[in-house]
Amino acid sequence: MSGKWVRGGERPKPRRGVLIEARPYELHGTKYYAVRYRLDDDPAGGSREARMSFDMIYDDPLPGEAILVESVLNVVDRVRRAR
């Protein structure tokens, strides 16, 4: 498979940003995170929010960390620590 994704399109590239806050919570026995972050190309002072299950984000996320945000159709489906 050569980088193709759904219906012949390619998966969007991860976008760089910084983690502002990652608040864990539990719903019906399942762990989730409410995440606030800013992408590098967002206007100054702007931020975004996403909610995701614990397996969609790396362990022990801390504010101020550089991150890579993966999303499809503006829905975040993975947050990784940037290296």
User: What pLDDT is attached to residue 6?
Assistant: 54
Q: Indicate the pLDDT class of residue 3, thresholds 50, 70 and 90.
A: low
Q: Region 39-61: what's the mean pLDDT? A: 93
Q: Is the dihedral of CA 34, 37, 79, 11 positive or negative?
A: positive
User: What pLDDT is attached to residue 7?
Assistant: 62
pLDDT tens readout for residues 52-66: 999 999 999 999 999
User: What pLDDT is attached to residue 1?
Assistant: 44
